[in-house]
């Protein structure tokens, strides 16, 4: 059944709340630093920033348990930070250093760490959907009590892999949470022009699974929804979540951003998930303003430390060119 969900009062410890808040700050500050590096020509290739979407990534992953799997998208820095990967090799990877997660060879869209349950970011739109479905099948065949969280964007919801994967997961009752971060645009294409359905969670009916549409900029709504979805998928099979959010920046660094108005962008900035969480924490006296300022200062310092680590790390050597091409 499709329904709207709103934030309640999550039963979260102070430590959990602090972890969620600082990870949103890490994500925002990491992305801002990456944008700066690209503007200075210090990073090659391309990147896709998730500034404005922090709540959907961090809130969802915070609801997972130890051992659960996650598949990210090409806009995957927030997912990676949410899963607890080290900021230093993340930054080193973007700067093409040998200390990066892919030894400087993968760049922004290929960060992964199987030891942390991170199945990887993916440069192919919708490419992570069948991978997550396969992971769900693996979990079921092994008889494990694990869930798989699969992120994808609204641009992927019309891909054939979306239909095939959700149909298979439904038929086999696989423990996969499919979470669409609907940031309203697939590149420059408005979701309203690409799909003749306003509520994308209605797609769930086609597969006989639950579907819900939520405020993806409210971290507590995201957390509670994914928590509920996790309990469901462990016993009854897949679950579809459409998290309505927005990217403040363009699709990628090469996006001239001419297809959106400043008024639209500013309206969404009023729903910025980071100030929303800060207000929640401050108004309920969970943290004082001074404590929240200190958390932000720590986030800034940790990002700068990661930058310094990346800058001083060695470049890959020519002899490493053909290493890591084949497994083993």
* Structural domain contains residue 230: yes
- CATH number for the domain harbouring residue 30: 3.40.50.970
* Structural domain contains residue 151: yes
Q: What is the pLDDT along the chain (328 residues), one digit of tens a residue?
A: 344 444 445 679 999 999 999 999 999 999 999 999 988 888 888 889 999 999 999 999 999 999 999 999 999 999 999 999 999 999 999 999 999 999 999 999 999 999 999 999 999 999 999 999 999 999 999 999 999 999 999 999 999 999 999 999 999 999 999 999 999 999 999 999 999 999 999 999 999 999 999 999 999 999 999 999 999 999 999 999 999 999 999 899 888 888 999 999 999 999 999 999 999 999 999 999 999 999 999 999 999 999 999 999 999 999 988 888 887 6
Based on the structure, what is the number of domains in the chain? 1
Q: What is the pTM of this model?
A: 0.94
* Structural domain contains residue 317: no
Domain that holds residue 162: 4-205+218-308
Question: What is the 3-state secondary structure of the chain?
Answer: CCCEECCCCCCCCHHHHHHHHHHHHHHHHHHHHHHHHHHCCCCCCCCCCCCCCHHHHHHHHHCCCCCCEEECCCCCHHHHHHCCCCHHHHHHHHCCCCCCCCCCCCCHHHCCEHHHCECCCCCCCCCHHHHHHHHHHHHHHHCCCCCEEEEEEHHHCCCHHHHHHHHHHHHHCCCEEEEEEECCEECCEEHHHHCCCCCHHHHHHHHCCCEEEEECCCHHHHHHHHHHHHHHHHHHCCEEEEEECCCCCCCCCCCCCCCCCHHHHHHHHCCCHHHHHHHHHHHCCCCCHHHHHHHHHHHHHHHHHHHHHHHHCCCCCHHHCCCCCCCC
* Structural domain contains residue 316: no
* Structural domain contains residue 35: yes
* Structural domain contains residue 149: yes
* Structural domain contains residue 103: yes
* Structural domain contains residue 299: yes
């Amino acid at each position: 059944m499709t329904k709207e969900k709103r934030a309640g009062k999550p039963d979260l410890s102070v430590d959990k709340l602090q972890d969620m808040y600082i990870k949103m700050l890490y994500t925002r500050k990491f992305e801002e630093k990456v944008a700066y590096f690209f503007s200075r020509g210090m990073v090659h290739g391309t990147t896709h920033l998730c500034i404005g979407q922090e709540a959907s990534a961090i809130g969802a992953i915070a609801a997972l348990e130890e051992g659960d799997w996650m598949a990210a998208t090409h806009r995957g820095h927030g997912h990676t930070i949410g899963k607890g990967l080290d900021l230093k090799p993340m930054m080193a990877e973007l700067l093409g250093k040998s200390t990066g997660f892919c030894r400087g060879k993968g760049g922004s869209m290929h960060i992964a760490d199987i030891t942390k349950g991170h199945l990887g970011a993916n440069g192919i739109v919708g490419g992570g959907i069948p991978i997550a479905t396969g992971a769900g099948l693996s979990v079921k065949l092994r008889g494990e009590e694990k869930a798989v969280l699969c992120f994808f964007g609204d641009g992927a919801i019309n891909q054939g892999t979306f239909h095939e994967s959700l149909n298979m997961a439904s038929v086999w009752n696989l423990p996969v949470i499919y979470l669409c971060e609907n940031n309203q645009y697939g590149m420059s294409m408005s979701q309203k022009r690409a799909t003749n359905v306003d509520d994308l969670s209605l797609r769930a009916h086609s597969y006989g699974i639950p579907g819900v549409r939520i405020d993806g900029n409210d971290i507590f709504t995201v957390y509670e929804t994914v928590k509920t979805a996790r309990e469901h998928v462990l016993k009854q099979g897949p679950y579809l979540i459409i998290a309505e959010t927005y990217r403040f920046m363009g699709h990628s660094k090469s996006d001239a951003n001419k297809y959106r108005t400043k008024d639209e962008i500013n309206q969404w900035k009023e729903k910025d998930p980071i100030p929303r969480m800060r207000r929640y924490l401050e108004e309920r006296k969970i943290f004082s303003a001074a404590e929240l300022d200190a958390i932000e200062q720590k986030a800034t310092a940790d990002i700068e430390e990661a930058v310094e680590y990346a800058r001083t790390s060695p470049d890959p050597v020519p002899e490493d060119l053909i290493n890591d091409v084949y497994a083993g």
